[in-house]
A and B are shown apart, each in its own frame.
Chain A
Amino acid sequence: MSMLEMRGITKRFPGVIANQDVDFDVRAGEVHTLLGENGAGKSTLMKILFGLYQPDEGEVIWQGSPATITSPSQAIEAGIGMVHQHFMLVPTLTVAENVALGLSSGRAPFTDLDAVSERIREISDQHGLSVDPSVDVWRLSVGERQRVEIMKALYRQAELLVLDEPTAVLTPQEVDDLFEILRRMTDEGRGLIFISHKLHEVMALSDRITVLRNGRVSGHTTPGETSREELAAMMVGRAVKLTPDRPPVETGDSRLEVRSLSVQGDRGTRAVDDVSFDVKGGEILGIAGVSGNGQREIAETIAGLRTPLPGSSVLLDGTDVLPMKTKQRRDLGLAYVPEERMKDGAVGDFSVSENLILVNHDTAEFTSSGLFNFDAIRRHCSELVERFAVKTPTIDTPTSSLSGGNIQKVIIARELTGNPGVLIASQPTRGVDIGSAEYIHEQLIAQRDRGTATLLISEDLDEVLGLSDRIAVVFEGRIVAIVDADDATRENIGLLMAGVVEPTG
């Protein structure tokens, strides 16, 4: 019998149908995955479950009887818990205080933190969470914070737990630990809703899978009777190539040489520590690592947005670029796709065409005597929009009104204009729909085939494994190993990402 049934849920917003006739149920003791692209209707469905929205049609049946849930606290009281993708923790409070927030106390006006801590230790032992109630949350690692989130739900005796993209910030090792904790919870008869777009994780953890596309259920299946390719096709609505073809290419000379690079991070610590690597023409060097291990600083230093510590050197086609300004580096053939699309990559209020010429609007091609040549700009931009399959009503549309995938295509189109010698691509497909991601991957491979040296920085291990010719793994600001693509597996790269260096290498 199902503990939760959502029957025929329809939710309309002005101009959009967010959910249409969605059926979804969870049985005790199972992991039911909700899979879908951004905007497919997953979060609307979950907001209905937590009472933030009321459905226009359909009903929610909880533990056998129809339920009207009108607020998150009501959902919590009923035994439905949520582990948010962006943790809902107060960093300056202790673990026990975070867990106790909002609970009624038998010792009002005080909260009996000793009793809370005691109970936390019990639950922690029972579920293998190893959570220390007395520590301030700001001291905890990302993985530990997530376990505090799970603790909050268990403490409130959640029977059903929703996990929203829980693995996004974890190392592969931490993901394994998390899955073990989750398995223990289902063994005890709890139900789990797992929201993710990482297909191999979905295949590994789920008992059942429901795929949403454009607000409708596009299929119910189980890992036993489907494959990653089929799931991707159900999400997108057409066949998708998950691993791009990577034809062998003759590599040329080193076009990007990084030597003894050390960079101070924002917190004053050494974010990058004595890092050296080469990228040859016609090669993609992938940098794998958990977020915050120096990747951002490496990319920004090469791009000219950060000053490294003395003793570092960065050579572009043999020229030392460290003394140069960003503009001069770009003139030498450097292109940069920053990780934060809307903050560093594009100006949201600018039109698509203005963003497309952001880096070369002052060249003779588009400007004469200080005035824009709008005919040339329009021709150039229309061509790029066509070539990179950017879905936009016109080239004068404000860029911020495009979808994430199309904004990213605008940035890639701009950066690949002029056939760069060196391309830094940071998180090129983060938060991008599968269709656009597939297209961006093809473009990156095509650019490599044209002889560009590409530095690919990504937290998505599948992306790094699929695109790279060689993989450098960073941990705490150092490169712990550089592995050839042929020798790289999820397992050995995952261990290296956690800082585990095997003596055999």
Chain B
Amino acid sequence: MSDFFTMSILVATVASGIRLATPYLLAGLGETVGQRSGVLNLGVDGVMQLSAFFAYWTVLETDNLILGSFVGVGVGLVMGVIYAVITVVLQAQQGISGIGIFLFGLGFSDLMFRRQVGTPKPANQLPDVPIPLLSDIPVIGEALFEHSWLTYLAFAMVPLLAFMLRKTTFGMNIRAVGENPQAADSLGVSVGWTRTYAILIGNAMAGLAGAALVLELGIFQPNLTAGLGFIAVALVYFGAWRPAGVMSGALLYGLVAAVVLQWKAQGIIPRSASDIAAMAPAVLTIIALVVLAGRVQAPSALTRPFSRH
């Protein structure tokens, strides 16, 4: 136990926690925007798997990490268009549609991987980009400011999205159609387009989350996410539909996971208990959700399709 509390191990664990939190944060923030507009997307995990594969494949073929990230976003946008057609235009039940998207993403990414790649091959990984000056600060610098640019982007999105939701006309429209779409409609706000844009933002960020996950690892395997996208949906509830809340949830989750990994590596957690320990972050999320349940109101129109008559 005492080994764990050496400075270098603590710093490494915090840095690893932040790294692990990145895909959760990106996907959770995107889902937050969608849910604030009244659309639940349970397909996040499937979108992440699809975009993870295509990002990985792109990098494998071109060695271009930036292009790979953009491909991830692009795949997310395509899935967003599909989901918007299903839920906004056709007004299908959102819960079941999202599960459909998830199953499609799971199966199709697996199929493409087997056909196009076959056996896992390592691809280029996202390099850490130390921020000049800030990364020189003792202790904090190494933990906080030596990450990939996708991690910086994810955390930069937190204030950006909070500002967008609170201060811009578009954000006000999103909040209005998520709470009382009839009222927004009666004043000439297009419920359909507002929700469609929110879905596109959410799916693009899920796509980026998939890219961030696979490019951090540098390798793809079927069912790479292992439910990560569902945890991201849970983090939206945990974070009470606020970007900063989602960030706290993602960080908590990432840090617990990092600690578990570190303890396993050091043998603090015996091999026989490692599977149980691996559940710790999920169990923690469930406990947090139970404790927080009912304290914060979800957007009133969440999961409700809108029609005029």
Contacts and interface: CB of A to CB of B under 8 A. Distances in A.
B64 interface: no
Contact of B186 (A72, A97, A100): A72
B168 A110 contact: yes
Nearest to B301: A90
Contacts of A92: 175, 179, 300
B173 interface: yes
B21 to A, nearest CB: 28
B186 A88 contact: yes
Contacts of A103: 187
Nearest to A88: B183
Contact of A108 (B169, B172, B183, B186): B169
B175 A90 contact: yes
B304 to A, nearest CB: 14
B168 A109 contact: yes
Interface residues on B, range: 20 to 34
* Chain B residues touching A, majority SS: helix
Contacts of A101: 172-173, 176, 183-184, 187, 189
Interface centre among A72, A73, A90 (most CB of B within 10 A): A90
Interface in A263-291: none
A100 B172 contact: yes
Contact of B170 (A73, A89, A109): A109
Nearest to A52: B308
A311 B129 CA distance: 70
A73 B169 contact: no
Interface in A78-97: 82, 84, 87-93, 97
A103 B176 CA distance: 13
B182 interface: yes
Given A93-B175, A101-B176, A72 B188 contact: yes
Nearest to A152: B187
A126 interface: no
Contacts of B175: 90, 92-93
B167 interface: yes
Contacts of B248: none
Nearest to A89: B183
B180 interface: yes
Nearest to A77: B188
Interface residues on A, range: 20 to 34
Nearest to B309: A52
A14 interface: no
A105 B169 contact: yes
Nearest to B189: A102
A103 B188 CA distance: 8
A76 B187 contact: yes
A251 interface: no
Interface string A141-162: 0000000000010000000000
B245 to A, nearest CB: 16
A31 B170 CA distance: 38
Interface centre among B175, B182, B186, B189 (most CB of A within 10 A): B186
A355 B173 CA distance: 45
Contacts of B168: 109-111
A75 to B, nearest CB: 10
Interface centre among B180, B189, B300 (most CB of A within 10 A): B180
A90 B184 contact: yes
A90 B188 contact: no
Given A90-B175, A92-B175, A97-B172, A102 B187 contact: yes
Contacts of B179: 90-93
Interface string B281-293: 0000000000000
Given A71-B188, A89-B183, 9 more contacts: A84-B186, A88-B182, A88-B186, A97-B176, A98-B183, A101-B187, A102-B184, A109-B170, A111-B168
Interface of B: 167-170, 172-173, 175-176, 179-180, 182-189, 300, 308
12 contacts: A52-B308, A76-B188, A88-B180, A88-B182, A91-B179, A92-B300, A97-B176, A101-B172, A101-B183, A105-B169, A110-B168, A152-B187
